[in-house]
Amino acid sequence: MLSGILVLYVYLTLFLTGGISVYGVVAKRNIVKKIIALTIFNDAVNTIAIFIGYRLIPRPLPPIMPTIYPNRQVYSAFISSSVDPLPQALVITAIVIGVAVTCFLAFLAIRLYDRFGTTDYQEIKRLVRGGKR
Amino acid sequence: MIPAVDPLLGLVVLVLALGGFTTPLVSRLSRNRYAVRTYPLIYCAASLVMTSLIMEHVWVAGQPVVYLLGGWRPPVGILYIADGLSALLGVVTSLVMLLIMIYSTGYIEGSGREYTYYSLMLLLEAGMLGCIYTGDVFHLFVMLEVTSLSAYALVAYIRDKREALYASYKYAIYGGLATTVYFLAVLFIYGGVGTLTIGDIHLRMAAYMSRYARPVFLCGLVFTILSFTAFLYKAAIFPLHFWLPDAHPEAPSPVSAALSGLVVNIGVYGIVRFAYTIFHGLPDPGLYSLSLMITGGLGCLSSLVGAVLMTTYRDVKRIIASSTIMNIGFVMMGYSTGSPLGIAASTFHLVNHSFAKSLAFLSSGLLIKSAGSRVLERLRGLGRALRYAGIPFAISLLSLAGVPLFNVFVSEYLLAASFIYTGKWVFLCFFMTSYIISTIVYLRIFYEVCIKIPVASAAHRSCRGWIAVAGVLVVLSLICIITGILSGYIIGRIIMPASQSLYTNTEYLEIVKEYLLSMH
């Protein structure tokens, strides 16, 4: 019962964080804050992935086979109580990709500040649009 | 059914990635500046040969060909699978990329940073071919990111241009959001049905639906909405098209050609693959009809928005880029009819649009370079002065405008026929309205650039490798004309088998099932 509420709470928090960070990416005017909001969104999604791997097991164990020569019983105990390792593998890949995107965006933010002298997205948009379409 | 294995499926992506990563090395090691221009061409030509061999293998085998990455079987490992549609799109992608790369050798300015351009272009192609050939939703995410990241960087290739930096930032920040949303969709489907292979998702959803209809439907619903959000962004469909009129024109012209002609296809391919391979033929047709409804409705709006946007700009590249929004809207409308004719027409339109749009960008690039401006009034009559760019530009404009005898006319005619055949009168209204608006805009550009007498003699700036550039333009023009004239033959021999393999997903699923069964 308690663990059920806790799991619900964790998922709710993560989805709320994700939602707020999406709002941050769209609504924040500062280009660096937009990038920070994007990394928060990435992290929220990655944490959701880890939690999906826990599969609502009451007492999860690490996915390591306890014996070298397992029989049917060991297998079924292993399957019913171990954490799914695949989402963690997905998360590692997603983190690496996220780093690449964040790096690129940070580089762009530096160049933008260099060229426009401001970090305000709306101001940059105004300067670009200025005059001709 | 015994699966036909083709190792080229895995190899082509790896070879292109190898080319992408070794290009900077070659440019550093060799003092010869021609080396960095010709070295990537080897990889592009090799990829064209390999994708053509894959297509031939698919034809000969008469069924999808597969490759297991690392020898691991599907639910655990990554499956590469090419059916008719992926084989066709693979060949189109590598052919257009090869032509764009040959063009780039004569077009892209030096300044010692050329190797970043070639390296990113090769990675872009690797990402696109990976997206097309993969049969795994998470691998699709990785390849989508490879494609997107190269595309973001290529938009900002001229890194001192303020507009390019702004466009690249806009594209990248929302693109990062979209691909992360796609990752969330992958997690939902993994949590729901416990597999990542596209065929296996269908099989398991079909199996679970009999007992847990409601939860599986909800999981599929969330998966559809989240993954389609990402693909609609990549394909620049109406509510998520806002980045395209900034990003596509600000890039150098060959990059615009690759982005507008090929990268948007990936978004379309993802939507179509999910709608027809995962959701088609499930016991509960709700998800299938929902996904077709989303694509059809947004495709209608997208075509109209694209056509209206075309009338608002004076910048030639912006007009051509906005017409991508409209054409991809047409393609989505055709796919959402769910009829074999609509699918064939859309596939043909997708291919024709790739050729005609890349020709339009490549030839307009030369005119813009010569005029030093992208505004339509400044290009007046320039097509007459620079014939080797003006004639291909005229051909691409007439083709995109849907003038008979050119390739796009045939596919647009078939699209209209499919709307009438399936009784989608709303689609036909949207289609005809956008078609008329866009034709007027195209013919206006055609008149301004290619018919009018130039006001002042244009300063002739000769292009460095003009033989390569002109050769590419001639080849693309010939493709546009020949595809139009021989359209009956091409539809019967190439387009119909490809769209048939998409419409009936049983062969695809049989192959995946074969691997799943042999594991136990």
d(CA B315, CA B245): 10
**Alpha-carbon span B164 to B250, nearest angstrom:** 5
Contact A35, A105 (CB under 8 A): yes
C-beta separation of B485 from B405 below 8 A? yes
CA–CA separation, B224 vs B276, rounded Å? 12
- DSSP reduced 3-state for B145: helix
Please tell me the predicted confidence (pLDDT) of residue A70: 80
Residue B315, chain A, CB below 8 Å: the answer is: yes
Q: What is the pLDDT of residues B211-236, one digit of tens each?
A: 888 888 899 999 999 999 999 999 99
Contact A78, A85 (CB under 8 A): no
**pLDDT score recorded for residue B493:** 87
One-letter amino acid for residue B268 of the chain: V
Q: Which residue would you say has higher pLDDT here, B148 or A70?
A: B148
Q: Is B318 on the interface with A (CB under 8 A)?
A: yes
SS (H, E, C) B110-125: CCCCHHHHHHHHHHHH
Which residue out of A101, A103, A119 would a mutagenesis test of the B interface target, given it has the greatest number of B Cβ atoms within 10 Å? A101
Give kind and range of the element (H or E) at residue B222: helix B213-235
Taking phi first (over 0 means left), then psi (-120 to 50 degrees means alpha), and beta for anything else, what does residue B109 get?
beta
Give B253-305 pLDDT, tens digit per residue: 899 999 998 999 999 999 999 999 999 888 888 889 999 999 999 999 999 99
- Which is it for strands B4-5 and B65-68: parallel, antiparallel or unpaired? parallel
DSSP string over A36-85: HHHHHHHHHHHHHHHHHHTTT-SS-B-S--SSSS--HHHHHHHHHHBPPS
Q: Is B134 helix (H, G, I), strand (E, B) or coil?
A: strand
* Over residues B295-316, mean pLDDT: 91
pLDDT at position A133 is 46
Q: Determine the Cα–Cα distance for residues B295 and B289; give it in Å rounded to an integer.
A: 10
Q: B169–A125: do the CB atoms touch at under 8 Å?
A: no
Report d(CA B115, CA B120) in Å as an integer.
Answer: 8
pLDDT > 70? residue B471: yes
pLDDT above 70 for B393: yes
B442-463 burial string, b = 16+ CB within 10 Å, else e? bebbbebbbeeebeeebeeeeb
Which H or E element spans position B1? none
Handedness of CA B118, B122, B123, B127 (dihedral sign): positive
Q: Which domain holds residue B376?
A: 4-519
State how many domains chain B has: 1
To the nearest whole Å, the CA of B223 is away from the closest chain A CA by 14
Q: Where are the domains of chain A?
A: 2-129
Q: What is the mean pLDDT of chain B?
A: 88
d(CA B502, CA B276): 7
- Taking the CA of residue B144 and the nearest CA in chain A, the distance in Å comes to 11
- Running DSSP on this structure, what letter comes out for residue B454? P
Alpha-carbon distance values, B469 to A63, B47, B439, B472, B475 (Å): 57, 21, 27, 5, 10
- Predicted confidence band of residue B131 (pLDDT cuts 50, 70, 90): very high
Does the beta-carbon distance from B187 to A25 stay under 8 Å?
A: no
Pair B242, B171: CB distance under 8 Å:
no
Q: Are B178 and B234 in contact (CB under 8 A)?
A: yes
Q: Which residue has the tokens 């005609």?
A: B356
Q: Which residues contact B273 (CB under 8 A, 6 or more apart)?
A: B198
User: What is the bridge-based pairing of β-strands B79-82 and B4-5?
Assistant: unpaired
Q: Rounded distance, CA B250 to CA B95, Å?
A: 24
Q: Do A112 and B191 touch (CB under 8 A)?
A: no
B31 has a pLDDT exceeding 90: no
Strand partners, B67: B80
Q: Is the pLDDT of residue B124 over 90?
A: yes
Q: Provide the 8-state DSSP code for B83.
A: -
> Can you give the C-alpha Rg of chain B in angstroms?
22
Question: Which structure tokens are listed for B90?
Answer: 């693979």
B489 backbone φψ class: left, alpha, beta (φ>0; ψ -120 to 50) = alpha
By mean pLDDT, which of A26-30, A125-129, B337-341 is the weakest? Answer: A125-129
Residue B77 near chain A (CB below 8 Å): no
Average pLDDT in the B109-130 region? 87
Q: Is the pLDDT of residue B459 over 70?
A: no
Q: Does B420 touch chain A (CB under 8 A)?
A: no
Query: In a 3-state reduction of DSSP, which class is residue B398?
Result: helix
Strands (E) across B349-391 are located at: none
Q: What radius of gyration do chain A's Cα atoms show? A: 22
Answer yes or no: do B177 and A18 touch at CB < 8 A: no
Mean pLDDT of B439-461: 77
Mean pLDDT across B335-350: 91
Kindly report the nearest CA distance between residue A105 and chain B, in angstroms. 7
- Asked if B180 is an interface residue toward chain A (Cβ–Cβ < 8 A), one would say yes
